[in-house]
Amino acid sequence: MYRYDEFDHAFVKARVAEFGDQVGRRLSGELTEDQFKPLRLMNGVYLQLHAYMLRIAIPYGTLSSRQMRMLAHIARTYDKGYGHFTTRQNLQFHWPALKDIPQILEDLATVEMHAIQTSGNCIRNVTADHFAGAAADEVADPRPYAEILRQWSSLHPEFSYLPRKFKIAVTGAERDRAAVQVHDIGLHLRKDASGRLGFTVYVGGGLGRTPMIGKKIRDFLPEEDLLSYTTAILRVYNLHGRRDNKYKARIKILVHETGTEELAAQVEKEFEALKESELKLPEADIQAIDAYFAPPALPARPEGDAALKAATAADGGFADWVRRNLNTHKNPDYASVTISLKGIGEVPGDASADQMDAVADLAERYGFDEIRVSHEQNLILPHVARADLRAVFDRLVEIGLATSNAGLVTDIIACPGLDYCALANARSIPVAQQISTRFASQARQEEIGDLKIKISGCINACGHHHVGHIGILGVEKKGAELYQVTLGGSGDENTSIGEIVGRGFGPDEIVDAVDTIVETYLAHRQDKDEPFLAAYRRLGSAPFKEALYGREAKAA
Amino acid sequence: MKLLTANRLIDGEVVWLAADGHWAEDITEAEIARDEEAIERLERTGREAAARNEVVDVNLIDVEFVDGAIRPIRLRERIRAAGPSIHPDLGKQARRGVLAPV
């Protein structure tokens, strides 16, 4: 993985010292809250309901064991013994004291981590496919490009005061696991007819109060033009993006109001001027970054097949896990393992310090020292020999992280919601916990098959509810929580925004409503091979409305 | 009826203004303002405390009495007063050993 060079070390060290000084001046009263707030936000520090929150960047979701152990150390030393992995592949601590944050950032810097650009109107953490560098269906590893974008965008003077925040995602496989079409810029890495690497470029995707699917403005952008083209997009946005209304300030609104064709023309015009500038990526530079992401040398482990057969035959629990939580690796002796942070009835995305340490140990012993955070709030060991899967599973059982539910109805995304977040209108996590408990049966979950439930506690949509097969949005109505349901959303290569099914449900009704939706799907699907999303796209909302609202819906 | 709430600057702890002028960590110690004059006094004290950099995010909140106990009207404020509803072991509810009604 990427290692800091001297410049990176000096840069992060200087930033830690600067923020330490700013915190000191705030605590002494030299800075007012109005002066300090934008400074703390530039360093990932929010004020939430119970305490401050520190959001730590995990570039493209990649972590080493040493870094994971540091997160565990911080959780134990400065927080309440746990952390929350987010839908942006980051980690949030929900209880740090402001006075301790400079020391936390110093500790983080020792393992090449920081919290820069995890908030504010700048280019945020660049996200990528969590199986990058390992997946069998990958054209190329998207992370070198994500790293190039990270270096280019870090404290970029021209793009530090954008109209609004800006999110870029990169995927390297035909199957999009990074939800690129709901990002400000989505990059889909592919090869052209001659075998050259480049990107399909989407712009203006996003969720929030105005969900939009990104518009394709380039079929194929050669890799050497990555920064010049991205700069061209950002320049057009920085110049024309609305600054008069926070809710209309994202690039998706600019694209919508300008029209895709006109916007693409403006970008192309800027790009023409930049194309042959110093932003053009030299082949040697791409290769230098590529080298950091060279896959580990994976020794042949052909004994895996026999070992797996024996182990799965002997133990049903292990067989479930093998069936659900593995992704096909480029090397047939290996697999990518999803470590579910969605234990039945647990808080989605939370991990205790002990669990973090145990995952770090597993990565070191069996996983070539690599860990990933997925935007679905799980952890990944990208390279595990199939022969070692049993040992990994056994240890995961011991630490309570062996739930066999990747991609199933209990693998729910949920934002922190009103249990923590100052923006939330309703709680998300308790709804996720109750749905998880309702669908606890492994047999029933597998009978239902692939089904993504995503829950947000406010319209800002951190829980990605718009692209949930079943999306749940918590709102406040007459002082009480109310949950609005959308159906048919999807955040993959066939992205769609879910449609509101009807009136919302109270906290005591929402789990039954989800159950009704699932039962309606089971009753109407053509066969077991027709997943929920395909069935919904074929059937439309009518049978679900009728099941949920009965005659009332028919009359409407 | 209103209370004045804020977060303590140094550590973010949720606090309410008490009758003796200190910032209490427990909502039951908060001064309850029942009339305009009392509300104005709370607001003034809050502005001064923010100016002295003791607290941030100072707000008046609506409360009612339920079974003799003070209870914020909004769920958001009830969760601030207790801690995360999903973690009875964390936040103020853990310290008091009493779960504030969510």
CATH number, domain containing residue A153: 3.30.413.10
Contacts with A30 (C-beta within 8 Å, 6 or more apart), sequence order: none
CATH of the domain at A53: 3.90.480.20
pLDDT, one tens digit per residue, over B45-67 is 999 999 999 999 999 999 999 99
Q: Is the pLDDT of residue A124 over 70?
A: yes
Bridge partners of B8?
B55
Does residue A298 belong to any structural domain of this protein? Answer: no
Write the pLDDT tens digit of every residue in A214-271.
999 999 999 999 999 999 999 999 999 999 999 999 999 999 999 999 999 999 999 9
Q: What is the pLDDT confidence band of residue A551, given thresholds at 50, 70 and 90?
A: low
Instruction: Examine residue A166 and state whether it is found in any structural domain, yes or no.
Output: yes
The mean pLDDT values, 10 residues at a time, for chain B of 102 residues are 98 97 95 96 96 97 94 96 95 74 54
Answer whether residue A115 is part of any domain: no
Count of pairs with CB atoms under 8 A, one residue in A, one in B: 72
| 3-class SS of residue A336 | strand
Question: For residue A78, what is the nearest residue in chain B, using CA coordinates?
Answer: B11
Count CA atoms closer than 13 A to A46's CA, side-chain side.
18
Q: Are residues A101 and A24 in the same domain?
A: yes
**Whole-number mean pLDDT of chain A?**
96
Question: What is the ipTM, given to two decimal places?
Answer: 0.95
Distance CA A496, CA A359 (A): 34
Q: Are A223 and A144 members of one domain?
A: yes
| d(C-alpha A82, C-alpha A95), whole Å | 10
Decide if A445 contacts A439 (C-beta within 8 A). yes
CB–CB of A476 and B75 under 8 A? yes
Of B12, B75, B76, the CB nearest to A52: B12
Provide the whole-model pTM. 0.96
> Both A531 and A425 in a single domain?
yes
Domain tally, chain A: 4
Average pLDDT over residues A487-512: 97
Q: Does A374 fall in a domain?
A: yes
Amino acid in the structure at residue B42: L
| A116 within a domain of the structure (yes/no) | no
Among A33, A52, A418, select the one facing B79 at the smallest CB separation: A418
Subunit contact B83:A33, Cβ cutoff 8 A: no
Query: Domain check: are A450 and A496 in the same one?
Result: yes
Are A141 and A233 found together in one domain?
yes
Residues A215 and A191 in one domain: yes
Contact residues, chain A, for B80 at CB < 8 Å:
49-50
Q: Do A479 and B80 touch (CB under 8 A)?
A: no
Contact B92, B14 (CB under 8 A): yes
Secondary element (H or E) of residue A334? strand A334-339
- pLDDT recorded at residue A312: 84
| Structure tokens given for A364 | 């070191």
List, as ranges, residues 32-71 from B with C-beta within 8 Å of A.
Answer: 50, 52-53, 56-57
Give the distance from residue A425's alpha carbon to the nearest chain B alpha carbon, in angstroms. 8
Residue A122 within any structural domain of the chain = no
Predicted confidence (pLDDT) per residue in A276-288, tens digit: 999 999 999 999 9
Query: Of the candidates A32, A97, A433, which has its C-beta nearest B11's C-beta?
Result: A97
Residues A537 and A434 in one domain: yes
A308-313 contact pairs (CB < 8 A, 24+)? A308/A386, A308/A387, A308/A389, A308/A390, A311/A389, A311/A390
Cross-chain residue pair B86–A476, CB shorter than 8 Å:
no
Question: How far is it, in rounded angstroms, from Cα A44 to Cα A390?
Answer: 39
Q: Which domain holds residue A86?
A: 6-109
- Among the partner-chain residues B14, B56, B86, the one whose CB lies closest to the CB of A50 is B14
Contact state of A479 with B75 under an 8 Å Cβ cutoff: yes
Domain presence at residue A125 = no
User: Which contiguous run of DSSP H or E holds residue A536?
Assistant: helix A532-539
Distance from C-alpha of A141 to C-alpha of A42, rounded to nearest angstrom: 29
Nearest C-alpha of chain A: how many angstroms from B32?
Answer: 21
- For residues A96 and A149, state if they share a domain: no
**A359: alpha, beta or left? (left if phi > 0; alpha if psi -120 to 50):** alpha
Examine residue A129 and state whether it is found in any structural domain, yes or no: no
Note whether B7 contacts A26, CB cutoff 8 Å. Answer: no
Amino acid identity of residue A33, one-letter, is E
Cβ contact (<8 Å) for B76 and A430? Answer: no
CA distance A400 to A412: 17
Out of A51, A96, A479, the one facing B73 most closely (by C-beta) is A479
With beta carbons under 8 A apart, name residues in chain B contacting A479.
73-75
Q: What is the C-alpha separation between A459 and A425, in angstroms, rounded?
A: 9
Residues of B in contact with A482 (CB under 8 A): none
Q: What are phi and psi of A69, to 5 degrees?
A: -65, -35
DSSP string, A94-137: S---GGGHHHHHHHHHTTT---TTSSSSSB-PPEE-TTTTTBTT
